Amino acid sequence: MKRVYIETYGCQMNEYDSEIVKTILRQSGYHITETPDNADILLMNTCSVRENANRKIVARVHEFRHAFQENDKQIGILGCMVTNLGEDLLDLPINFMAGPDSYKFLPGLIEKAKKDKLVHKKLSRTETYADIYPTRVDGINAWIAVMRGCNNFCSFCVVPYARGRERSRTIPDIVAETEQLVQEGFIQVTLLGQNVNSYDDQGKNFADLLQAVSQVRGLQRIRFTSPHPKDFPLELIEVIADNAKICNHIHLPLQAGSDRILRLMRRTYTQKQYMALVDKIRSKMPNVTLSTDIIVGFPTETWQDYLQTEAVVNTVGFDSAFIFKYSERKGTLAAKKYADDVPEEEKTRRIVRLNDIQKNISLKKNLAHVNDIQTIIIEQLGTKKSPDDCQGRNQGNKLVILPGKHHVGEIVQAKITDATAHVLKAIPAQ
């Protein structure tokens, strides 16, 4: 029996896709291994969203080839780099490539790639892998991709090219999968989509889906990522607010604060509209945890433009933010229309400054929870610092460290006693 090792880069959708790949390969008689050393086939499920994601993969391919020079292991590249870069990757010492919609062809590709380098990267309008039950990792959380693809074409982003058009699974299908997951012991599902709230099952929207999934008995928590600000009607906010199982955490990518930059990015909202959405969310969910994604140094971004991003960060007070330097991606609208003209040192200056500001805000937000009683679900026994502590998460998706013995999946009422910018510390509430 051939053994396959798979390494995953990029977003949660890729984590999920690797679980899909494992099932497809197992059904074709392959065995999945946990280390590259004893594998016959090495797979890398890749990300192409920024240039350094690409660089990492190229280095890893060479590292693998070097380490396993003597034996004839096959190396395959999967995922977004394949659809984004395609044949350009054939110079690498690899045997085959398969894009995000090509995984059902993998067993055939692996078989045939013994002779020639093979590429399958055709995107599909319909593939959702609804018929493949992922090989999930044990734990409390199961990912479910409820929609795939993106139709938005933000000017900086490769995802619409790498992942193709939007398509959704049906509500009954997702509910049935959730029921099975609960029977298997998972107590949380995270609904995934490149624009998860653009979900559309023949007119049934994301709010309908959330409501349906929340009816599943035994399920404790529902998370979702990533929503786009353009699809946030009041109805959706109310469903999240009124439903105890749906976590009060919203990841709401801002990208930039300047209206001029937002327009060039094709984000379809202005700073004012974004702020109004935050207000609307907070009016229904006063304790909501908000996180965001931000890009600094988009082409033509001036210091004044950048300060607008800073102003939004200061005004909203996000609990956390993922901040990126603009990375020009071949084939995107921004790459075609605008020179990548913000110097690297300037991008660095902006990202360092904004991360610093955000860190202080995160710390303040976290310290404000001290003395709160919160519901924590334990995810891991032992932490980096101490084998005697456990790690879990609150509703807001914040990491919480607790002393003492618990078990994974245990639901603990805990009192927050201290915080850093990254974690809360707690003790079981009396």
Residue 152 binding ligand SF4, by CB under 6 A: yes
Residue selected from 13, 142, 213, 390 as contacting ligand F3S according to rule CB under 6 A: 13
Binding to ligand SF4, residues 175-204 (CB under 6 A):
194-195
Binding to ligand SAH, residues 262-301 (CB under 6 A):
293, 295
From the list ligand F3S, ligand SF4, ligand SAH, none, which binds 50 (C-beta under 5 to 8 Å, kind-based)? ligand SAH
Beta bridge partners of 6: 43
Q: Three-class SS of residue 428?
A: strand
- Rounded to the nearest 10 degrees, the angle between the axes of helix 303-316 and helix 271-284 is 10
C-alpha span between 138 and 276 (Å, rounded): 40
From the list ligand SAH, ligand F3S, ligand SF4, none, which binds 10 (C-beta under 5 to 8 Å, kind-based)? ligand F3S
Binding to ligand F3S, residues 48-87 (CB under 6 A):
48-49, 79-80
Residue selected from 148, 163, 169, 228 as contacting ligand SAH according to rule CB under 6 A: 228
CA 370 to mean position of chain CA atoms: 29
Residue 11 binding ligand F3S, by CB under 6 A: yes
The residue range among 16-24, 67-75, 152-160, 377-385 that interacts with ligand SF4, by the rule CB under 6 A, is 152-160
From residue 191 to residue 220, what is the string marking binding to ligand F3S with x (rule CB under 6 A)? Answer: ---x--------------------------
Binding to ligand F3S, residues 146-185 (CB under 6 A):
158-159, 162-163
From residue 147 to residue 176, what is the string marking binding to ligand SAH with x (rule CB under 6 A)? Answer: ---------xx-x-----------------
28 — phi, psi (to 5°)? -95, 10
Q: Are 312 and 270 in contact (CB under 8 A)?
A: no
Residue 154 binding ligand SF4, by CB under 6 A: yes
Residue 150 binding ligand SF4, by CB under 6 A: yes
Which of 47/313 has CB closer to ligand F3S?
A: 47
C-alpha span between 33 and 45 (Å, rounded): 15
C-alpha span between 281 and 294 (Å, rounded): 19
How many chain residues are in contact with ligand SF4, going by CB under 6 A? 10
The residue range among 41-49, 263-271, 277-285, 399-407 that interacts with ligand F3S, by the rule CB under 6 A, is 41-49
From the list ligand SF4, ligand SAH, ligand F3S, none, which binds 162 (C-beta under 5 to 8 Å, kind-based)? ligand F3S
Number of CB atoms found within 10 A of residue 196's CB: 24
Q: Three-class SS of residue 338?
A: coil
Q: Number of helices (H) and strands (E) in the chain: give both, helices first.
A: 13, 19
Which of 118/323 has CB closer to ligand SAH?
A: 323
Residue 160 binding ligand SF4, by CB under 6 A: yes
Cα-based angle 375, 378, 380 (whole degrees, multiple of 5): 155
Residue 324 binding ligand SAH, by CB under 6 A: yes
Edge-to-edge strands, sheet with 118-120: 31-33, 3-8, 41-46, 74-79, 96-98, 118-120
Q: Which CA distances in Å does 255 have to 73, 262, 313?
A: 41, 8, 11
Residue 145 binding ligand SF4, by CB under 6 A: no
User: Taking the C-alpha atoms of 322, 326, 327 and 329 in order, what is their torsion angle to the nearest 10 degrees?
Assistant: 110
Q: Which residues contact ligand SF4 by CB under 6 A? A: 150, 152-154, 157, 159-160, 194-195, 228
